[in-house]
Every structure is written in structure tokens, then in C-alpha cells.
Amino acid sequence: MTATTPTTPKAPAPRGTSADAGGRERVSAFWSLSRAMLLGMKRDRTATFFILLFPLVFLVFFGGVSKGDHSPHAKVAQVGAVKLFDSIQGPDRAGLDKVLTITHTDDEAATLEKVRKGDFDALIKQGADGKVELRFTAADQVRAGALQGILNSVVQEANQAATGQKPAYVLDSQQVEDKSLKPIQFLTPGLLGWAVATGAVFGAALTLVNWRKSKVLRRLRLAPISAGTVVSSRILVSLVTALLQTTVFVVVATSFFGLKLTGNWWLIIPLVACATLAFMSIGLLAGSVAKTEEAASGISQVIVLPMSFLSGSFFPMDGAPGWLKTVSEFMPLHYLVSSAQSVLTRGGGVMDALPTMGGLLLFAAVLTGISWKLFKWEDA
């Protein structure tokens, strides 16, 4: 076979302005890129499951397990010595411990503040004159009443004992289950935070690595669109995902698990939005460093899972050692979870959410700056 093609270069044929034929249609690279990503995600059933349903499975699971745990304890902070309590020993003491968890503190003002915030149910102290003072939060009438009843009986018993007489009447105090202690109030903000963190970190990291590997990133680079368009449409997609997760979570928790929302619950929306940016920046960093999807997924998991445990997503950090609490203060999720708890279930206001939002945005800015330095268009 010999070559049959002409050996001289062809003269360029006159080229019609075919791009303009039929009139210019208006298109937006931003919307069409966002749409492409959302469609891709919607059709990826595994991704949808892990982003939307998997966290709900956790909610159902934890919610169900915790329901069986009839924790009767009221948390009382004891300031200084309270002879009334300290003198109770032996089997009577065990009985008291059944209904009350007594924490010893010295700082009355700070403890009173904690009572206000709901960290303690009541504060108790005893003056030199033997007067026992109880300061309790009125947030929950039932609990306050129960607590008063218990203490009253303790005082009466003590008084009675002081007279040396055999009691004519005996009051048998029983634990009172407090409805507001429902774990859902605690679980919803925590698991929501975990779900949002997972979605945003994995989403950003895997998208970046997948685009780099499949050369979509190169295609974007060779197209006349700005980096801003690409980044902002990816942010839009992550925000849509996170707000969808929030909606599903709050709706399911209120409708099926009896979550009671407090006044400023809508603040969860800007909070989640800011947190999404912070988590995306973590994902961006992971995706900039990782070469394969497996690596990106591994790095993301190594960050998200410990962060979730340390941030109190699954269980409270109250009992954790101090150094672990310090570590958790470096985690953006810690702030999202505590602010989300505050606005969703503890009646927190704008001032509870604003500092967190500012901090999350700052975190996002710093990490994005670092990723910018480490970012690679190509594998090699």
C-alpha cells in the first residue's frame, strides 16, 4: 500500500462563522458546571446513601439505644462544704448517688453560670447558719420540681434525725424521669455535624482527585473559564448538599424522635454553611496532597472520624481528660457541634453562633491558602 494523501498542505478552506449561526444562546458556565456535579451526585446511589441516609441510620441507631437508658440522674454542683450531704454515709449515701450526681466546685459565680447554661441542673451550698441554698434552672419545670422534692426530703430527714426521734412518717423518694433529658436533643446536633463534615470533606477531596486523575481538571484548565467559576460552583454544590442534610436531619428528628427546637433554631443554616466551607477546605487540602481516590478517601477518614469523636458528635466530651478537651478545641467540628446544640436545643441566640461562624470562616481561609500552595493540576 502506498500513501494516497496529497503531499502538499491543503489551503485552508474558507470557514463560516458557524458558532454564531442561529444566534448566540445564553449559557452560564457556572450554572452548567454546578448542574453537572449535582446530577452526577444524584445519580451516584452510593454517594447519596452515604451523604443522606447513612447519618440517619446512625440517628435511628443511637436514638434507639439511648432510649433504653433511663438515666435518672440530676446533676448538682456543690459549692464548698455542704454538711447536709457530706454527713450522709453508708447505704443512705448510695441511695443519694442513685438520684443525684454531685460535683464539688469552689467558684460559685462560674458554677451559677453553668447552671444557667444547663451544664448543671442545680447549685447547692450551705451557709454557716446551716441554711441550705438551692439554685436551680427553671428551664424545665418537671425537673426543677423533682430536684426540689428530693432535696426537701433530704433536709427533712436530716432535721428529723437531729431531733433524735423516730420518724412518724417516712418519705420514700423515687427517681423521676425527666423528659427533657431525651438523648435526641444532644444527638441531633452532634450527628448532623458529623454528617456535614463527612459530606464536605469527602466531597471536596474525592472531586479534586477524581478530576485530576480523569483529566477533567486539565479540560477545565484548557477552557476559558476562571478558577473562581470552578471553585464557586463546587462550593454551591457542597452547600446544597449540607443544607439538604440539615433539612432531612431536623425534619426526621422532630417528626419521629421528638426533637424540640428552641427559638433561634434557624441559625443552624448560616452555621452549617460556614462549617461546610471549613470542611471543604480540609477536603481540598487532602485532595491536593493525595494522588489516588483511595488515598484521598483514607486521608479524609483519618481526619473526619477522630475529629467527630473528639468534637462530641457521638457522645459528650464531659468525661474526657483535660488534654483531650484541649485537642478538641482545635477542631472546627467541635465549634459547629456546640453552637448547633446551643441554637437548636438550648435556646442560644445570634451571639452564640456568630463567633463560631467567624472562626469557621477564618479556618477555611487559612486552609484554602495552604491548599493553594500545594495544589497540583497534573499528577506528574
Residues at the interface with another protein (CB under 8 A):
1-15, 18-19, 22, 24-29, 32-33, 35-37, 39-41, 43-44, 210, 214-216, 218-225, 377-378, 380
State which residue, 13 or 138, has the beta carbon closest to another protein. 13
CB of 34 to another protein, least distance (A): 10
Shortest distance (Å) from residue 199 CB to another protein: 16
Give the shortest CB-292-to-another protein separation in angstroms. Answer: 15
Residue 301 C-beta: closest distance to another protein, Å: 21
Comparison of 318 and 378: residue with beta carbon closer to another protein: 378
Q: Which is nearer to another protein, 49 or 266 (CB)?
A: 49
Q: Which is nearer to another protein, 18 or 255 (CB)?
A: 18
Q: Least distance to another protein from the beta carbon of 45, Å?
A: 10
Angle between helices 332-345 and 293-310 (to 10 degrees): 50
217 or 267: CB nearest another protein: 217
Q: Which is nearer to another protein, 179 or 221 (CB)?
A: 221
Nearer to another protein, 42 or 93 (CB): 42
CB 40 to another protein: min, Å: 4
Minimum Å gap between C-beta 267 and another protein is 35
